[in-house]
Structure 1
Amino acid sequence: MGFIEWVQHADASTAMALHAFALDHPLYMWVLRFLTDVAWEPMTLRLVVAAVVVVLLRRRAVRQAA
């Protein structure tokens, strides 16, 4: 088995194992979907950064806010 075949086999077996795990653990998948679709969405992160900048500016920490 060459390198490419080995990588393809490893990829396929990992995908099948993760898929089986996902089918057995729906709450785990709900949490991961929430994190990827809501918590780590670019707009959410931008709002968090904006809130941190506002807090820093209110504390007169201009250098850290910049």
Structure 2
Amino acid sequence: MICPQPGEVNIGNCTTQTCSACGYVMKGKEHLTLRDREWECPNCHTSHKRDQNAAQNILQRGLELAAML
């Protein structure tokens, strides 16, 4: 991931579409719409709440970035 500023996490990169448990990215007909508030990962079958899943992905990306500094 390329960040424009040190310490900044690019949050516009599929954070709601990526399973925080296994990393699977929803694609094609699986792609979530704004109406989809809860979903199940077709890969690992983990149930997600859209915003909570996005927050977990953002946290993980931030921790990964912090480890590189």
* TM-score calculated relative to the size of structure 1: 0.33
Larger helix percent: 1
> Which structure exhibits the higher relative contact order, with contacts defined as CA atoms closer than 8 Å and separated by 6 or more residues?
2
Larger strand percent: 2
* TM-score calculated relative to the size of structure 2: 0.31
Larger-gyration structure (1/2): 1
